[in-house]
Every structure is written in C-alpha cells, then in structure tokens.
Amino acid sequence: MPWTQIASIINEIEKTPAGKQYSANKEHFWEMLAQKSGYTRNALQRMRSTLIRGNAIADREKTKLQEILGQRSLEPNALFDVLGHFHTAELFARIYSADPDAAFNLLAQMRAERVPVVRIKEILSEVTNRKHSSSAKPTFLTRTDALHREQALALIDEHKSLLYGGDDVSIYFKRYEFEFVSIDAVGIRCGDDGALQLVDGFMFMTSIPARHKLAFQNLLSDIDYRSSFFRHVWLCRNSSFRWPSEEINAAIDALDIHQVGIIEFDEEGGEMKIVRRPKGDARPSRYSLTLREIMRQGIPDFGMV
C-alpha cells in the first residue's frame, strides 16, 4: 500500500467517532495504529506529517507546480507521484522549507531523470547550511535585545538540574557540526563506562521572520526535523518572541512532536522557566546518526576528545 494512502487512512480514522475516542488518548491511538499497520509509531507520524506538508505545498504553489509538471490542471497527488517514495517526499519537504527554489529545481530534475537519494540528501545539507550561514543571527535574539545568547546559555547551564534532575549533563554551544542537521547547542550525559546516555538539542528561536502563516509553518518544519535527530529538543525563546509559547505548544501537540520542550527567558535575562517538558525517551529515527557524530568528534568533559 502506498505511504500516501496509509497517511490518508490515518487522517480519515481520526475523523470517525471511534477514531476521535482513540485520538483523545494520543499515546494509545498511535500504539493501536502501529500494531494494526506493522509500521512503527515514528514512521506513521512522519508519513502523516509529510502528507500534510506536501499537500500544503501543492495548495500554496499550485501555479508553479502546474508549470513544472506540465499539467494544465493540477491532478490530485501529482506532487507525490513524482516524488515517489516516502523518504524522498520527506526530504523534498525539508528542502522546500529551507529553499523553495532549490526544491522546485530538484522536482524538475526528478521529472526528467532519476535522482539518487544520496544526492537529495546532499541538496538538503547544502540548503540547510546556506540558510543558517546567511542568517544575521542564529539565535532568537537581535543585537538590541537585553538578553544575549551567552546569558541564555549561562542560565541553562546554571539551572540544568531543573531540566535533568541533576548537574551531570554538559552543555556545548556550537561545539558539534552534523552532516544533515544544525543545532545551536547540545546537552550530553555519559555513564561511568563512557557510554552515551542522552544527547539533547537546544534550538534558539529567531525573532527575524515576519509573523505570517508560512513563516510559522517553516518554524514548525524546522522543529519537527530537528526532533528526529535528538532524544529531546529544547526550544529556547524570550518572552517577546513573535509567536507565544501557547501557540507553539498547541501546534506541537497537534503534530504529536512529543519529544520537544520549551524554555522561556525574561527580557532582562535574569530568569528562565520551563513552559513545556518533553514526553518520553524513545529514540527518534535519526538518533543513531547523532550519536555517531558525537563519538567521532569527541566529548571534552568526559575525557573523550
């Protein structure tokens, strides 16, 4: 059965009376779907998320897609017919979030010839790095803000026992470079035997984007993508960030991105509070890639360099 059909069925199930009863308890709902389908919960959630994002792209870029695909009237699933495999569609959606033009160039190429997945991953890495290197500040703060990222990191480090229940987690800012994802800071805990016990990411949310629907969708896309590489992802925002914590929190719940937490700082930089705690400790789909890079690059505080 095509992945688009599986994702559509999930959406339809949620609309039925029985589905609404199940989805009220989201943990039980996804467990039930995983058992019935034979797919993991993570895979099913990613399928549904990719279908939603792909349909949003098709609605928003209808004219452009008609031109690229040579269709006078855009047919249902026309975009997914070209993209094919779920993994390719997911990569395309992430490329679009970072650079729509690069995504359209890729789509035109895919219509004419087979593009290897390894090349699509390279394009994603290129546009992601370009997006972050070209931004004025890879942080939720501007130069005029009272709270600077160094102060935010100092607060996180000072109060990390609130996040982790102890002080045995080391926070590194811009210490690690990953091939397929960028993150502002990483939290690491190792056991006595040197084994990695957890790797979390910290994402400083920028105040640069305009407040409109597409910008918010791109923010959610960035959050969803990063959450597939880290046990937990902590969103770090100041109280004047363009979208309130409540709006972000509601969207995260709707998208079932359980492993995301939110930390909020006051304008003076003297206090931080935990607005949302991540749920669960299940390893996300790309966690092994992160662990591999961490071990390759070393962990200074644990004598592994």
Note the pLDDT of residue 232: 95
**Angle (deg, nearest 10), helices 100-112 and 117-134:** 160
Contact call for residues 260 and 279 (beta carbons, < 8 A): no
Specify whether 100 is located in the same domain as 159: no
Contact 131, 139 (CB under 8 A): no
Q: How high is the pLDDT of residue 282?
A: 81
> Is residue 135 predicted with pLDDT exceeding 50?
no
Q: Show which of 78, 107, 133 is a domain's final residue.
A: 133
**% of the chain beyond a pLDDT of 70:** 81
- How far lies 290's CA from each of 3, 94, 176, 273, 293, in Å? 26, 18, 10, 27, 5
Q: Which residue did the predictor score with more confidence, 152 or 47?
A: 47
Contact yes or no for 199/294 (Cβ under 8 A) = yes
How many domains in the chain?
A: 2
| Per-residue confidence (pLDDT) for residue 149, from 0 to 100 | 64
pLDDT, position 145: 41
128/184: higher pLDDT: 184
Q: Give residue 263's domain range.
A: 149-300
Whether 122 and 226 share a structural domain: no
Residues 124, 183, single domain; the answer is no
Whole-number pLDDT of residue 172: 86
In this structure, are residues 180 and 289 in contact, taking their beta carbons and an 8 Å threshold? yes
Asked whether residue 60 is assigned to any structural domain, the reply reads yes
Q: How confident is the model at residue 278 (pLDDT cuts 50, 70, 90)?
A: very high
Boundary-marking domain end, from 100, 133, 166: 133
User: Residue 164 sits in a domain of what CATH number?
Assistant: 3.40.1350
How confident is the model at residue 173, as a pLDDT? 81
Instruction: Give the per-residue pLDDT at 186.
Output: 93
Task: Give the model confidence (pLDDT) of 63-79 as tens digits.
Answer: 888 888 887 777 878 89
Q: Is the pLDDT of residue 223 over 60?
A: yes
Distance CA 283, CA 110 (A): 32
Residue 288 CB-density burial (10 A; 0-12 exposed, 13-18 middle, 19+ buried) = exposed
- 34 Cβ contact partners less than 8 Å away, ≥ 6 residues apart: 40, 41, 44
Cβ-based neighbour number of residue 203 at 10 Å:
24
Mean pLDDT (whole number) for 268-279: 80
On whether residue 139 sits in a domain, the answer given is no
CB 254, CB 220: distance < 8 Å = no
Please indicate, yes or no, whether residues 159 and 282 belong to a single structural domain of this protein. yes
- Please indicate whether residue 226 or residue 48 has the higher confidence score (pLDDT): 226
Percentage of the chain beyond pLDDT 90 is: 19
- Same domain? For 264 and 206 the reply is yes
pLDDT tens by residue, 159-194 = 787 888 766 788 888 788 898 898 989 999 887 666
Residue 141 lies in a domain: no
Please state, rounded to an integer, the average pLDDT across all residues of the chain: 80
What is the model's pTM? 0.53
Same domain, 85 and 157: no
Last residue of a domain, one of 79, 102, 133: 133
- pLDDT per residue as tens digits for the range 25-37: 566 777 888 888 8
